[in-house]
Amino acid sequence: MRIAIFNQKGGVGKTTTTLNLGAALRRSGNTPLMLDLDPQGHLSSIHGQAPLEANRSLFAFYQDLRSLHELELPWEHIGHLIPAHQQLIKVDSIFGKGPAILNKLRHGLEELETTNPRPTLIDCCPYIGVLALNAIFACDCLLIPISTDYLSLQAAEHITRTLQVLEPVLKRRVERRYLLTRFDRRRRMSDDVRNKLRDRYGDDVLDIVISENVSVAESPSLNCDVYRHNASSSGAHDHTSLLKELVERGDLNITLR
Ligand SMILES: Nc1ncnc2c1ncn2[C@@H]1O[C@H](COP(=O)(O)OP(=O)(O)O)[C@@H](O)[C@H]1O
Ligand SMILES: [Mg+2]
C-alpha cells in the first residue's frame, strides 16, 4: 500500500507526517519504505547519512541509471529510505510530461513490491509537476496535511480542483484523506477550520488531528522521529492514532502489533 503525502503549500507538515507515520509503522511491527520526492531533500537530511551524489538518489531512477531497489538505504528505527537530490528539480524540464514519465514511479514501485511488499510513504514537493504527479499516480491514498489556519483552506480547495482534472486521466477516484496538523485546541480558529473542512470534504477529513507539539518540532534537528525524541509526547501519541485511523479506514492494509 502506498501513501503519498502531498500539499502544494509548503510548511504544512508533509515531511513531519511522513517521518512520524513511518516511525509509527515500524513500532507497530510494519517496516516501511520511505521515498523522498522533494528536491529540497528535507526527509533525506533528517535521515542524516543520505549520500550527496545525484546518482545515488531518486534522480538516478528517473535517468534510468538505477532501479529503486539499488537506491534503498537502511534507516535505523524506521525501515528504508530512497533519498532525494536537488537535481530532481530538473525532472520536469528533462523528461517532459508524457504518460511514460508520469507512470514511472508507479511501475518502479510495482516491480519492487513483487519481491518486497511493504507499506510505502512518499514525501512530496510543494508544487504540482512531474514529481508530484508521479506520486499521485503511484499512490493508493493521498494524505493531505492541512495546517490549521485559514489560508490552508484555499490550498485544500486547490488540490481538490487539481484532482478533479486528473481523475478522468487516471480513470479512477484518487482516494484522499485530509489531516489537520499543528492543531492548537486553545484557538477558536482551529475548530472553525476543522468544521469548514468537514463541511466541504465530509468523511475524507480524518477524525484525528496532529496537535502543535514541541517534541514534533524538535526531533528533525536531532535526526530522529518524535518517538525516539520523546515517546510519551502528545506528538508521538497523535501519530500512533493517525496510523490506527488509517488502518481502521482500510487505507493501510496491515496488522498492528
Ligand atoms: N505538529 C507540529 N508541531 C510543531 N511543529 C510542527 C508540527 N508539524 C510540523 N511542524 C514544524 O513545521 C515546519 C514545517 O513542517 P514540514 O513537515 O517541514 O512541512 P512541509 O514538509 O509541508 O514543508 C517544521 O519546522 C516542523 O518542525
Ligand atoms: Mg517537506
User: In this structure, what is the dihedral angle of CA atoms 140, 144, 145, 150, given to the nearest 10 degrees?
Assistant: -170
**How many domains, the chain?**
1
152 vs 160: CA distance, rounded Å? 12
Residue ranges of the alpha helices (H) in 103-233? 104-115, 130-138, 150-170, 188-201, 214-218, 226-230
The answer, yes or no, to whether residue 168 has pLDDT greater than 90, is yes
Report the pLDDT averaged over residues 118-136.
Answer: 97
Res 179: pLDDT: 98
Tens-place pLDDT, residues 193-207: 999 999 999 999 999
Res 52: pLDDT: 85
Res 144: pLDDT: 98
Q: Is residue 257 part of a domain?
A: no
Give percent of the chain above pLDDT 70: 100
Report the pLDDT averaged over residues 30-55.
Answer: 96
CA atoms within 13 A on the CB side of 231: 5
Check which CATH number belongs to the domain holding 124 and give it.
Answer: 3.40.50.300
Res 96: pLDDT: 82
Q: Is residue 66 part of a domain?
A: yes
Q: Is residue 219 part of a domain?
A: yes
The answer, yes or no, to whether residue 17 has pLDDT greater than 90, is yes
Check: CB of residue 184 under 8 Å from CB of residue 143. no
Pocket of ligand 1 (CB under 6 A): 10-16, 42, 126, 181-182, 210, 212-213, 216-217, 220, 235
Report the pLDDT averaged over residues 177-204.
Answer: 96
Tens-place pLDDT, residues 81-126: 999 999 999 999 998 888 899 999 999 999 999 999 999 999 999 9
Q: Is residue 128 part of a domain?
A: yes
Res 99: pLDDT: 87
Distant-in-sequence, close-in-space partners of 250: CB < 8 Å, separation ≥ 6: none
Ligand 1 pocket check: which of 7, 15, 16 to mutate, most ligand atoms within 8 Å of Cβ? Answer: 16
Domain membership of residue 161 as a residue range: 2-248
Adjacency order of strands within the sheet including 141-147: 73-75, 79-82, 33-37, 120-124, 2-5, 141-147, 176-181
Ligand 1 center from residue 74 Cα (angstroms): 24
Q: Is residue 256 part of a domain?
A: no
Q: Is residue 6 part of a domain?
A: yes
34 vs 219: CA distance, rounded Å? 17
Give the position, in ligand 1's atom list, of the atom nearest the Cα of 7. Answer: 22
Check: CB of residue 159 under 8 Å from CB of residue 7. yes
Q: Is residue 27 part of a domain?
A: yes
* Prediction pTM value: 0.98
Q: Is residue 108 part of a domain?
A: yes
Res 174: pLDDT: 96
Grid cell locating 171? 480513470
Ligand 2 center from residue 38 Cα (angstroms): 7
Res 97: pLDDT: 81
Res 11: pLDDT: 96
Give percent of the chain above pLDDT 90: 95
3 state DSSP class of 85: coil
The answer, yes or no, to whether residue 50 has pLDDT greater than 90, is no
